[in-house]
C-alpha cells in the first residue's frame, strides 16, 4: 500500500502551474501558520449555507462514484461477452484464450473499481490535523478562494508601493 502524502496547500503542490513568486507563496504560508485561517470556516457559515455546501459536496462525490461503478459494470459486461463468445466458439479466438481475456477484463474492472472508489472516498475528507490544514475539501476551497483574492490585493498594494517610490 502506498504511503499517504502529507497535505500541502494548493500553491505548493507539484501540479500547480500558476505564476506565484516564492515571496507570494510565503505570504500565503503566513496565513496558513496562524491558529485560525482568515478565510471563513464552514462552521461559521449559516446552517442553510452549510447544508447546501454539504449537498453539493456529496452530489459531486456520488457522481464520481457512479462513474466508477458504471465503468466497472461496463467492463464486466465486456469481459462476460468475451467469455460467452468463447464458450459458444463464436469469436475469432480459441475458447481458452477467450476465457482468459474475459477473466482478465473482469478482474481488471473490479480491481480498478476498488482502487478508484477508495481514492474518491479518501478525497472527501482531509485526514491530517494541524495548523493551516483545512478540515474538508470544502473548507480548503474556501481558503483557496480567499487566498486568491488576498494575492490580488497584495499585488495591488505592492504595485502601488512601487509607484509611490518612483513618483
User: What pTM, to 2 d.p., does this model score?
Assistant: 0.64
Task: Please write the tens of the pLDDT for every residue from 11-58.
Answer: 888 888 888 889 989 998 888 888 888 888 888 889 998 888 889 888
Whole-number pLDDT of residue 1: 38
Q: What percent of the chain has pLDDT over 90?
A: 30
Burial pattern 96-115, b for ≥16 Cβ within 10 A else e, equals eebeebbeebbeebeeebee
Whole-number pLDDT of residue 84: 92
pLDDT confidence bin for 99, thresholds 50/70/90: very high
Average pLDDT, the chain: 84
Amino acid at each position: 500500500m502506498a504511503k499517504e502524502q502529507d497535505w500541502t496547500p494548493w500553491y505548493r503542490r507539484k501540479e500547480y502551474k500558476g505564476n506565484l513568486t516564492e515571496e507570494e507563496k510565503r505570504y500565503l504560508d503566513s496565513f496558513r501558520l496562524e491558529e485560525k485561517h482568515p478565510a471563513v470556516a464552514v462552521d461559521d457559515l449559516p446552517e442553510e449555507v452549510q447544508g447546501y455546501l454539504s449537498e453539493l459536496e456529496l452530489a459531486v462525490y456520488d457522481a464520481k462514484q457512479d462513474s466508477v461503478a458504471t465503468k466497472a459494470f461496463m467492463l464486466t459486461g465486456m469481459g462476460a461477452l468475451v467469455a460467452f463468445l468463447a464458450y459458444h466458439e463464436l469469436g475469432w479466438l480459441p475458447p481458452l484464450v477467450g476465457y482468459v481475456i474475459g477473466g482478465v477484463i473482469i478482474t481488471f474492472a473490479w480491481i480498478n473499481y476498488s482502487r478508484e472508489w477508495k481514492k474518491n472516498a479518501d478525497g472527501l475528507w482531509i485526514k491530517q490535523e494541524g495548523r493551516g490544514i483545512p478540515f474538508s475539501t470544502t473548507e480548503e476551497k474556501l481558503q483557496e478562494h480567499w487566498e486568491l483574492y488576498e494575492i490580488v490585493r497584495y499585488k495591488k498594494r505592492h504595485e502601488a508601493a512601487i509607484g509611490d517610490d518612483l513618483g
